[in-house]
Structure 1
């Protein structure tokens, strides 16, 4: 494979990991401080994406060294841990949203959610296009799959933006809880897809995989 393109793919995977670490830290801190469940859940999702990103970075690192035709034990374990973390996140967000709706809890502000989601939309769009370009040039299924996972994060950012904007404008308490349920749905979807990937060692994917 083209070493220059693989190096680019590896750098993109490291940028994704670093960005999600920073985003996760900021989102969970302000989500807890402002009592914004959607923002807090978004941050936890970013941390889980780091686990997925580590598995991808490891795979690309192997691809730089020799031809890769199947997942190794590290990558399969990373997928299982990632899938389990997404399922736990789903359960936690559903419980949190239920409690928020029951008690009528509402955030102090969702302004940080607006700013962070806009930044995430711009970043994820850049990463998605860059990864997809490299993946197609290398004809690499796992890199294209990673690009589609980044696209899912791109859509997830719109959920946070929508719920944060709606609350900031209308101040309706349950909008934040609904936003967190949207994030929970995506987390469940990503968890399911992670476990589906562990069923075989192959690296094939389609345009809908994540």
Structure 2
């Protein structure tokens, strides 16, 4: 019975590791596509969304590393690799925030309009569906393992979902109204969310809060 339970735990931890890897590779693809079309269509919100996805990859690597350690029965306390990944993530989010605010402000001042935001609509809809699926499976795995750290990662994915909703609103708003400032406003909201993610990342690096840059306050101590 004990051996069966241990085998089941290892199976679920492998699922958690796979979900972390899917998150990493999805964000790499999403970031590349978003930056490409955001730059080509001069869509600030889509470009900023893409850069945010790249930053999320750094955090995702830290989560994947953590899940692998938990699967080996190690403590959920962060090791130097995870803390350094969180510091890099936090710094990158702060740089992204400053860049988005400067670019969006200049866009508003100049009355700039994107060429189109159709790709922003397409990418945000795909992202919303993908993030919902990842949240569902991460929550299921975290609950099965009784692991606050993995549940905290699911909460982080909800932040990505909020970013997708902001991008969709800004992109759809421009397509329907032609008001160019909506793209810049969407970029500013993404900047605010990025700032919060950066602050949370530094708090996690100092040993506060939950397992990644997500704005939640769950402890990372696992009961498994």
Q: Is structure 2 residue 184 aligned with structure 1 residue 177?
A: yes
CA distance in structure 2 between the partners assigned to 1:41 and 1:32 by the alignment: 10
**Partner in structure 2 of residue 45 of structure 1:** 52
Residue 97 (structure 1) aligns with:
104
Unaligned segments of structure 1, at least 5 residues: none
Q: Does 1:165 align with 2:176?
A: no
Q: Is the 8 Å Cα contact of residues 70 and 203 (structure 1) preserved in structure 2?
A: no
1:55 aligns with 2:62: yes
Tell me if the contact between 1:70 and 1:202 (Cα under 8 Å) persists in the aligned partners.
no
Deviations along 1:148-170, one digit per CA (max 9) or x if unpaired, are 00011011100000000000010
| Structure 1 counterpart of 2:3 | none
Cα distance in 1, alignment partners of residues 166 and 209 from structure 2: 32
For 1:1-210, list aligned pairs within 5 A: 2-200=9-207, 208-209=216-217
Structure 1 consecutive aligned stretches of length 4 or more whose deviation exceeds 6 Å: 201-207
Whole-angstrom CA distance in 2 between matches of 1:38 and 1:159 = 9
- Structure 2 distance, partners of 1:207, 1:81, is 17
| Change beyond 3 A, Cα 1:131–1:72 | same
Q: Which protein has the larger Cα radius of gyration, Structure 1 or Structure 2? A: 2
- 2:104 and 2:185 in contact (8 A); partners too: yes
**How far apart in 2 are the matches of 1:55 and 1:147?**
14
1:175: how far off?
Answer: 0.4
Q: What's the C-alpha RMSD, in Å, of the aligned pairs?
A: 1.8
Q: Deviations over 1:6-32 (max 9, x none)?
A: 000000000000000000000000000
TM-score, length of structure 1 as denominator length: 0.95
Mapped to 2, the partners of 1:176 and 1:204 lie a distance apart of: 32
Change (3 A) 1:98 1:126: same
Q: Tell me the distance in 2 between the aligned counterparts of 1:71 and 1:208.
A: 17
Q: Secondary structure at the match of 1:183?
A: helix
Please state whether the residue corresponding to 1:70 is helix, strand or coil. Answer: coil
Deviation string 1:26-51 (CA, Å, 9 cap, x unpaired) is: 00000000000000000000000000
